[in-house]
A and B are shown apart, each in its own frame.
Chain A
C-alpha cells in the first residue's frame, strides 16, 4: 500500500513509464486488439441478437444493483438450502479471515482465475498461512511464476511473448520447453495435472450468482475452472456481490452477453454450480460428496460495493461484466496495459479503485483517463466512463468526506 498520495502518484507513474519503455507490451496488445476486434465482429455477425440482448442486460444489472441486499439474502438462503455454505464478508480483511479459517494451513489449493481474489490479495494471504496455491489459468500461472500482477482482466499475461514463456517454463519445470505455443500449453497441462488430483481445495470466482437458485456461473475455455471446482473435495468460491442477478433465466442472458463481448461465439464451458455433489442412487437417500466436492463454500464479498451502489453515477461501474472489451479500445491501455490502473484497470476502473483501495490509488488513474469515450462505444452495457471520471475528479476536488478524511500529503 502506498503510504501517501504522492507515493501513489509516483508508483502509478513509474509503472506506466516502465511499461512504456517495454515496447513488447504495446506490440502484444496491438496484436491482441486486432484479433479481438476480428473475433468479436465475427461472433456478433453470427449472433446479431447480442446487441439488443446487451441493452436488456444493462437493465437487468440496473435492477440488480438497485437491490443487492435482498438479492444477497435470497442467494445465501438458497445456497444453504442446496447444502452449500454461504458467507458474507463486509471487508477485504473479513473475506481473507473467513477463507483463511476455512482453509487452515498446509493445504494444497488449485485456483481458477478470479479478479475478486486479486482485489483482496487472497493468494498471498493463503500462502502466508502456509498453504500451497496454484493458479491454474494459463495466463495467471505464467504471472504467478513471474511474480507479476495481471495486465488485463481476461488475458492477464497478454504482455508475455511465447519466447519468454518457454524460458520461464523450462526453468520452473526443470525440462526444456520449446518456444512454440502448443508445447507450452501441453507443458502447463502436465505440470498442473497431478496438482488437481492431489489438491485439498479448489477455488474460483464466479461471473454471475443467480439469487433465486443460489447458482454460480463460471465461464471458461481452458477447462481449468471445471477441474478446480469439480475435482478437489472442497470448493470455495469468492464472489463480489455485484455479480448477483435475480433469476437463473436472466443469468443466462448476462452470461451470453459476457462471453460474446469477450469475443466468443460460445465458450467451451459454462459451469453452473449450485451446491456440493450428491447422489440418491442407493435407496433414494440423498448423500453429499459423490464424484465432485463434498463441500461448497460461497464467500460473498462487499468491500465497498454496497457504498458504490449508493452513488448515482459511480454505481455504473458495478454493471461491468468483465468482458474486457473496453481495454482493447483504450489508447492508454494500448501503450501501458494494466499499469493504467491498480487491481482494476482503465478509466471506469478509477471508481472501483476508489472503493476497494482508496482515493489515493484512484487519483492518478482518474487524472490519466483521456475521457475520450471509445471504451463506452465498445461496452455492451454502455458504462459511461466520461461521467464516472467527471464524478471521480469532482470527488477528488472536494467530496472526499464520504471516503473518510484525506490522507496527509507527505
Chain B
C-alpha cells in the first residue's frame, strides 16, 4: 500500500502508522484506554461484549492533536507547501510520545467517566457483559472514512478474528461509528462474520428489567442526533423511546433539523480542518438552542466533544445521553 500519494492530507499516513503499532489512530496504549474500567470488576471473557471502540477515551488525545494540527495549517498543508506533520510535531518538540503531554487530566477524567457511565447504566438495566480491556481494538471506522480501504479491510479482519477467538456472540456498542462499522461495513469486508451487534439504546430497550427512570428536578432537553445513527443506521426513534420513559423530562425538538434531518456537528473534519469544524459546531449549537431547551444530549463521542467546543461561552449545556440516564436512575 502506497501512502505516499501526493493527494493525501499529510496527517493521514501518520494515523495509519499509529494503527499498525497500537491498533488505534493516535498510538495510545491499550492500558491507558481501558483504565476507565478500573475497579468495575468487568469479566474479560463472555459471549456478550461491551465494545467502546476506545472512542470516548481517545477524545482528550484528539483534542490535543487538533491543537497541534492548528499550528500546522489546513489538511497538514501549509502555504501551498507540503508539511510533514510528524516532522512538524518533532520541530515543535512534540514527537508522538510527548505530543500528548499537554493533555489535561480534567478532560481525560471527563471522557473516561462517560465510558464508565455507559457500563454502569447497562448494568443498572440488568445487562451483563464482558470487556476486552487493554486488548480492545479500535473499530477502524476512521480508515474507511478517509478512504484507506485496504487498511480498513485488514483491520476489520483482525478485529473479527479476535472476536472469533474469544467466542464472542453478541456485541453492545456505545458508538454510532462502531455500530456502522460492524453492522454495515464489516459484512462487506469480512467473510463469515456471525455476531449480533446491538447499539447501547437497543440493549436498554430489549432488557427485560423495566427500570424506572426519573429526574429529581424537571428538565427540558433537546436531542442532537448523530448523523450516522439517525441517517445511515435509521435509529432516530430508539433514543427518543428511552427518553419518553424518563419522568420529569421534556424533550423539545430542534425545529426542522432533527432525526433524519439532523445537522452535522462538524466533527468529521476536526483534525483536517479545525478552522471550519469549529464554526460548524457553533452553528449547530445555535440550532440546538433554538429548541428552547437548556440542555442538549448526544450519543457520540465525537459529536459530544465538538459540540462542547461549540458551546463554549454559550448558555446551552451539552451532555452525553449516558450521563442523563445515569442521573435518571440514581434519582429514586
Contacts and interface: CB of A to CB of B under 8 A. Distances in A.
Please indicate which of the listed interface residues A4, A16, A389, A393 has the most CB atoms of chain B within 10 Å of its own CB: A393
Interface string B12-56: 000000000000000000000000000000000000000000000
A373 interface: yes
B100 interface: no
Interface string A299-330: 00000000000000000000000000000010
Contacts of B275: 17, 20
A331 B264 CA distance: 7
A120 interface: no
A386 interface: yes
Contact of B149 (A10, A13, A17, A394): A394
B283 A331 contact: yes
Interface string B264-285: 1010110011011001100110
A367 to B, nearest CB: 6
A396 to B, nearest CB: 4
Given A13-B74, A332-B280, A397-B148, A372 B5 contact: no
A376 B74 CA distance: 27
Given A373-B231, A394-B149, A367 B279 contact: no
Contact of B264 (A360, A364, A372, A406): A372
B77 A406 contact: no
A377 B9 contact: no
A370 B2 contact: no
Interface stretch (B205-213, B214-222, B255-263, B323-331): B255-263
Interface string A332-352: 101110000000000000000
Contact of A398 (B144, B150, B260): B150
Contacts of B6: 5, 406-409
A269 interface: no
Given A6-B81, A10-B80, A398 B75 contact: no
B260 A410 contact: no
Given A370-B268, A398-B2, A9 B283 contact: no
A10 B76 CA distance: 10
B7 A20 contact: no
A4 B79 CA distance: 12
B280 A377 contact: no
Contacts of A359: 7
A20 B82 contact: no
Nearest to B272: A367
Nearest to B9: A367
B79 A396 contact: no
Interface of A is mostly: helix
Contacts of B318: none
B85 to A, nearest CB: 14
A400 B276 contact: no
A13 B75 contact: yes
A400 B6 CA distance: 10
Interface in B121-157: 144-150
Nearest to B74: A13
Nearest to B287: A331
A366 B80 CA distance: 18
Nearest to B151: A397
A331 B80 CA distance: 26
Contacts of B3: 397
B218 to A, nearest CB: 32
Interface in A351-410: 359-360, 363-364, 366-368, 370-374, 376-377, 386, 389-398, 400, 406-410
A37 B256 CA distance: 10
B147 A373 contact: no
B92 interface: no
A6 B80 contact: yes
A212 interface: no
A374 B80 contact: no
B264 A397 contact: no
A7 interface: yes
Contacts of B260: 377
B243 interface: no
Contacts of B2: 397-398
B248 interface: no
A377 B227 CA distance: 11
Contacts of A386: 232
B4 to A, nearest CB: 9
A370 B77 contact: no
B8 interface: yes
Given A20-B279, A360-B7, A396-B7, A9 B144 contact: no
Nearest to A34: B256
A352 B9 CA distance: 20
A6 B2 CA distance: 19
B74 A9 contact: yes
A370 B80 CA distance: 23
Contacts of A334: 283
B256 to A, nearest CB: 7
Contacts of B149: 390, 394, 397
A393 B16 CA distance: 15
Contacts of A406: 5-7
Contacts of B105: none
A6 B82 contact: yes
A5 B284 CA distance: 32
B1 interface: yes
Contact of A335 (B82, B228, B283): B283
Given A37-B256, A367-B272, A400-B7, A374 B283 contact: no
A102 to B, nearest CB: 37
Contacts of B227: 370, 372-374
B74 A370 contact: no
A359 B6 CA distance: 10
Given A331-B280, A397-B5, A397-B8, 13 more contacts: A6-B80, A9-B9, A9-B74, A9-B75, A332-B276, A336-B276, A364-B75, A370-B227, A371-B268, A372-B227, A373-B227, A390-B149, A400-B5
19 contacts: A5-B7, A7-B80, A20-B275, A331-B266, A363-B8, A367-B9, A370-B227, A370-B264, A372-B231, A372-B263, A372-B264, A386-B232, A389-B147, A390-B145, A392-B147, A395-B147, A396-B7, A398-B1, A409-B82
Interface of B: 1-3, 5-9, 74-75, 77, 79-82, 144-150, 227-228, 231-232, 256, 260-264, 266, 268-269, 272-273, 275-276, 279-280, 283-284
Which 8 residue pairs spanning A and B have beta carbons closest together? A393-B147, A409-B6, A372-B264, A396-B7, A10-B80, A372-B227, A9-B77, A13-B74
